[in-house]
Structure 1
Amino acid sequence: MRTVEFEKLVSERGIDLGELAEALERVPPRSAARLSDRERSVLRRMGIDPDGRSDVPVSAGIARRAQLEADCLSVNEVADLLGRDPSRIRQRLGGLQRSLLGWHRQAGAREWLLPRFQFDLGLHDAPEWARLLRALPHADDTSPAALVRWLTDPQTHLDGRSRAEVLVIDDELDALLAEAATFGMVP
């Protein structure tokens, strides 16, 4: 892909090249990412070829994350939207009683990102939403992109609806909680 094509692609997707460059700078060079013999052995026992190349380049993951972040709201934006104090929004993001989906933009940072879909669908005040969130790993402890996909991608077993849509429309919380218990498990 030529540079011009790449720049057009990221521009169409709303990705900031500066942020992409910063993220790529944090990826260690191949020589620095060598695995020890012990690490290679562990990977082989898990059925992973340590010498294999990924079908999905790192830049694609970075681009997906940038798209995801572009469709998120800040704590202050959510506070304005809901007419609440920002401290109350932060309380709802953490701890055992979390009731909003969000994650920190960067590990160790204080800036929260909250995906817009939970407000668009009216889930933000639903007790079922809070129960489902508490059944899932905290977004900072997993891949936020994978978690959002799990919640928002259409599912054939749900008649083409997403889990978030099912939660809004139907009373299938128990089934969703059972599925949440398997989030992140390899089928």
Structure 2
Amino acid sequence: MKVELKILINENELKERLKTLGREISEAFNGEKVTAVCILKGAFMFTADLIREMETEVEVEFMRIKSYDGMKKKVDKLLYDVECDIKGKNVLIIDDILDTGGSLKFATKELRKRKPARMKTCVLLEKERKKDFKADFVGFKIPDKFVVGYGLDINELYRDLPYIAVVENNN
């Protein structure tokens, strides 16, 4: 697949924002232990870097929700669920991008059923468009464009880029 990419957020911008975001999240949870739930696969790089910036104890869990086929949005489906009991715990759901809000709303609804003490959401990117969900923490607001890199993909490609890039064309 041949695509043209234009860098939107470079590596240094990502690192600097994650430092601030880590502090904001730690303060919001009053330095208490947090169970970070990484939404796979797109948020794995973001989660790894973010939890290193948090100033609190963090345990990590994973959840996988299938939302896209290539660049086409599909119905959200739970493919992999967290393994630990989150009842009474502080939970931070970490996702790569808030697009329509569907997958984050889905994850929040699923995890809320398990009665965590507190639950907050964090996204690396939020598209400037109408959504039916609002994240508690947002790394960057971006234009309504398809992006890849730093964990985000098209058909499993481009996750390895150390920056966020806009897909200019898709042939």
Give the TM-score, by structure 2 length. 0.27
| Bigger RCO (CA 8 Å, 6+ sep) | 2
Give the TM-score, by structure 1 length. 0.25
More strand by share: 2
